Structure 1
């Protein structure tokens, strides 16, 4: 049994799965429901779906595709993408999802996290932050799929999210996302050392060793994985897969 959760982080665009690189260009991966069937067979512990253009384009949540996913999926599910209200969260949970992922909406309405957390419990809310290095080497938070820079201090913001009722944090390095180069260890460490809630590292995983590295060196509680699970290898074609569990156990459990 792995002590560290490994979460396939799957990106939705309308009703298709896609994969981005540094939040920019994206490639078509396939049908989300068929992909869920494959992960069912691979006995993955949980799945995360993020509609990456929903907030940027201010699109309504596609509840139909979420229903299709939930009806097929055997494991716990989380969803993020332009969730604006407690009613949105209620609909998502009623469909069968266990967690909601809040990012862009929190900057306009931090109270939304408190409302959902109070109603469903802190374990139901994942707060997501996307961070990018500036030209001068400083790190900035971005929302709306990396399009809108937020003038907030990273440490102060994650503490506010924790206080508001976040049950865990999804921390994504935009510069690392889709790179296969490994997680931003210093960034994840910066977050984990300033909050008490679990931190999910995201962006950059390209091999099993990267998982052990971010857990050991940065105290990540969980690892989100994207490219490594939807491609054969870097630069090669689509192949939905999951790392060998013996290899994972050796790397993560020692």
Structure 2
């Protein structure tokens, strides 16, 4: 990036008033200095200095004391808005990307711009897990990759499957296989498998994230910290992410070992 471009970006973005002035001219059209002062509720000198600087850069034009965006100014403010949206999206994704193994999986982060990211709340560190459970409550068809599992979600899925609402296929990690074939989990899974509406397979290794695909449309990706606590859950319907999710799921499905009712 050229220094002149960096200087222009710095000039505009270090002043909220400058950005708001360009946005005002873009959204509502030409205006006088007085109209701009009133609309932005700022001083005469601040508006006058900004408009003079804009004219020097060729971003606005002045005709009979009325200021309007030039074609260059139009492009500048539109690019600024896109940049702001990109920064906002990147910051919202930060809790997820911190724990997602991007070096191992070629997830297109640009496709995540419209994703919803759920993080632990102050009073409930398991908010991501509860959001995951809510998806299962609404789904009719589900495919999932589970590096960990909780009893609450398993009970919900049990009710959904045994009542004929949900059909599911899940691939679980070896550690999850040990969990669900014992204790309170075992009878729940036995009953679900007996309905024929659930398929459970054990993966060859430990998946580094949770992956859920509901009704062929909604994708959830959940990440945990090194101690197994949920850190973020991403939910998105973007087709590119869905295709990636299907491919990632198939990789774990291939070579996975089906678990029969007898295992429980």
| TM-score (normalised: structure 1) | 0.27
- The structure that is strand-richer by fraction is 1
Whichever of the two has the greater Rg, that structure is: 2
